[in-house]
Amino acid sequence: MGEERVIGATIILYKPDMDVTRQLLQSVIDQIDVVSIIDNSPEPTPIQFPSANFHYHHYPKNIGIAAAQNVGLLDLKSAGCEYGLLLDQDSAIDDDFAFRLSSLLVASKIEERPLVAIGPRIICSFSEKSVKPRVQREIAVYDELVCVTQIISSA
**Predicted model pTM:** 0.78
Strand partners, 153: none
pLDDT, average across residues 12-19:
94
pLDDT, average across residues 52-71:
93
Q: What angle do CA 130, 92, 4 make, to 5 degrees?
A: 100
Whether residue 150 has pLDDT greater than 60: no
pLDDT class of 136 with cuts at 50, 70, 90: low
Whether residue 128 has pLDDT greater than 90: no
| Alpha-carbon dihedral angle through residues 73, 59, 29, 122, given to the nearest 10 degrees | -70
pLDDT class of 1 with cuts at 50, 70, 90: very low
Whether residue 139 has pLDDT greater than 80: no
Residue 148: its pLDDT value, please? 59
Q: Which H or E element spans position 64?
A: none
